[in-house]
Amino acid sequence: MNKKTIRDVSFQNKTALVRVDYNVPLENGVITSDKRITASLPTIQAILDDGGKVILCSHLGRPKGEADPQFSLKPVADKLSELLKLPVVFADDDRVTGQKADEIVKAFKQSENKVLLLQNTRFRAEETKNAGDFAKELAAYGDVFVNDAFGTAHRAHSSNVGVCAYLEGVLGLLMEKEVTMLSKVFDNPRRPFVAVLGGAKVSDKIGVVKNLIEKVDTILVGGAMAYTFLKAQGYAMGKSLVEEDKVDLARELMEEAKKANVKFLLPLDIKTTTVFEDTKEFALRKVDGLRENEMGMDIGEETIALFAEELKDAKTVVWNGPMGVFEFEHFAEGTFQVASAIAESDAYSVVGGGDSAAAVKKLGFENRISHISTGGGATLEFLEGIELPGIAAMSEK
C-alpha cells in the first residue's frame, strides 16, 4: 500500500485529529453495541504510546446539519472513557468547533489529559457538503490528521477529506487493515478467482458486476438479483422480485462476461412460496418451472451443489449479498451452504455487505473468512474499482 499510516509519522508532543466511526446504535440515549468504540482503541492507544494527544471526531446518526440532542456524542465519550480507562474530555459545543470548543481544546492541550472528543460533526451543515470553514476549523485543532473511519471513506466530507487541505493525513489501523485486505483481492489474486453475488437488487450491484467481470474467472449469482438475469434468459419468474427496467442491462452484462471468458452461473433451481413469509410449505422448482403465483425465496439443492463445486477449488473469493431471504429460517439454507463452502475452501476470502457479513457471523464462520469488511457503501464502491476519496486524500509514502 502506498499510503502513509500512523506508523509513518511521529506523534511525540503532537496532537492528532482522528476521524473515527462512532456511529453507534442508540436506544433512548443508551449505546446498545460498543463494538465501534472498542474497534477504535488500538489506533488511539498507539498514538498515546507514541507520546501524542488525541482529538477525536465522528458523526452519529443523521441530524439535519444542526444541533440535535438525541444525536449528542456525550454517551460515547463516557463509554470511551470507561473502555480506555482514561478521562475523556467532551467538547460539548453545538457548533462542534465553536468558541466554546476552542476554549475547551486550548485548556485540554495545556492539561494532563490525553483524549478529547468533539461533538457530532453532522451538527454542522458544512460537514457533508465539504464546504465552508468547518474543515479548516477542525484542522486547526491538530498537527496531524488520522483517518480511521472506513465506513465513510466513499464520501468526501469536511472531517475526512476537507481537513487534508490543511493537515497531513495518514491512515489509522482500522483503515489500514481494510485497505490492505480488500486490495489483496485485486492485486495479483490467486486463481481460480470466484465472485459470489446475491442480495435484493441488481441495481445496487451493477458497478460491482462490471468491475468483477474484468477481474474474476467465475461469477455465481443468487438471491433476488438472479431473477432479473433469469428473466433476461427468457424464464418466467412469476411473482419473484424482478427489476423489469434492468432486464436488458442484465443481458448485456452476461454478454460482457461471455466475451471476457468469465463463467457466469445462475441458479438451476429455486425454492418458491406464494406469500412472502417464513413457511415450510415451499416448493422446489427448476428455473423453467415457476408458477405464475410463485416467488423465489432461496436457491435450491442443485444450485447449492453447483456453487459449492465452484467454491471448493477457489483460491480467491469475494462474496457480497445473501443467496435468499436468509432472515427466514426456511430460506437460509442457500446462504448457509455458500458461507460454509467458502469457509471450508482454502481460498483467500473477503465478505462485504452488511447483510452478508451478518449472515456469516450468525452462522459462526467469522474466523474462517480471511476478511469481513466493515463498510457498506464504502466496500461496494471499493469492489466497483472506484478510488475512495477518504483514502485518496491521504499522504503518499
Q: Which active-site residues does the annotation give? A: 36, 201, 354, 377
Residue (of 164, 143, 77) closest to 115 by Cα position: 77
Q: How far apart are the first and last CA of the chain?
A: 9
Answer whether 264's CB lies under 8 Å from 221's CB: yes
Residue whose C-alpha cell is 430460506: 331
Cell numbers at residue 217, please? Answer: 474467472
Residue whose C-alpha cell is 511521529: 10
x/- track of binding to ligand ADP for residues 114-143 (CB under 6 A)? ------------------------------
Nearer to ligand ADP, 52 or 267 (CB): 267
x/- track of binding to ligand ADP for residues 225-264 (CB under 6 A)? ----------------x-----------------------
Strand order in the sheet with 283-286: 283-286, 269-273, 295-299
Asked if 94 is part of the footprint of ligand ADP (rule: CB under 6 A), the reply reads: no
Q: Which of residues 51-80 bind Mg ion (CB under 5 A)?
A: none
Nearer to ligand ADP, 101 or 290 (CB): 290
SS3 199: coil
Asked if 303 is part of the footprint of ligand ADP (rule: CB under 6 A), the reply reads: no
Asked if 350 is part of the footprint of ligand ADP (rule: CB under 6 A), the reply reads: no
Residue (of 11, 82, 73, 13) closest to 41 by Cα position: 82
Phi and psi angles of residue 106, each rounded to the nearest 5 degrees, phi first: -60, -50
Asked if 192 is part of the footprint of Mg ion (rule: CB under 5 A), the reply reads: no
DSSP letters spanning 310-374 = HHHT-SEEEEES-SS-TTSGGG-HHHHHHHHHHHHS-SEEEEESHHHHHHHHHTT-GGGSSEE--
State in angstroms the smallest separation of the CB of 379 from ligand ADP.
8
Nearer to ligand ADP, 160 or 228 (CB): 228
Cell numbers at residue 325, please? Answer: 431471504
Which H or E element spans position 26? strand 26-27
Asked if 52 is part of the footprint of ligand ADP (rule: CB under 6 A), the reply reads: no
Rounded distance between C-alpha atoms, residue 345 and residue 140, angstroms: 50
Nearer to ligand ADP, 118 or 224 (CB): 224
Rounded distance between C-alpha atoms, residue 136 and residue 17, angstroms: 12
Asked if 224 is part of the footprint of ligand ADP (rule: CB under 6 A), the reply reads: yes
Cell numbers at residue 397, please? Answer: 509514502
State in angstroms the smallest separation of the CB of 323 from ligand ADP.
7
Which of ligand ADP, Mg ion, none has residue 224 at its interface (CB below 5 to 8 Å by kind)? ligand ADP
> Which among 52-60, 78-86, 279-287, 322-330 is the span making contact with ligand ADP, rule CB under 6 A?
322-330
Asked if 86 is part of the footprint of ligand ADP (rule: CB under 6 A), the reply reads: no
Nearer to Mg ion, 126 or 355 (CB): 355
Cell numbers at residue 316, please? Answer: 480467491
Answer whether 164's CB lies under 8 Å from 392's CB: no
Nearer to ligand ADP, 97 or 303 (CB): 303
Cell numbers at residue 365, please? Answer: 464462520
x/- track of binding to Mg ion for residues 346-385 (CB under 5 A)? --------xx------------------------------
Which of ligand ADP, Mg ion, none has residue 242 at its interface (CB below 5 to 8 Å by kind)? none
Size of the site for ligand ADP (CB under 6 A): 19
- Judged by the rule CB under 5 A, the positions of this chain that interact with Mg ion are 354-355
- Judged by the rule CB under 6 A, the positions of this chain that interact with ligand ADP are 198-200, 204, 223-224, 241, 296-297, 320-322, 324-325, 327, 353-356
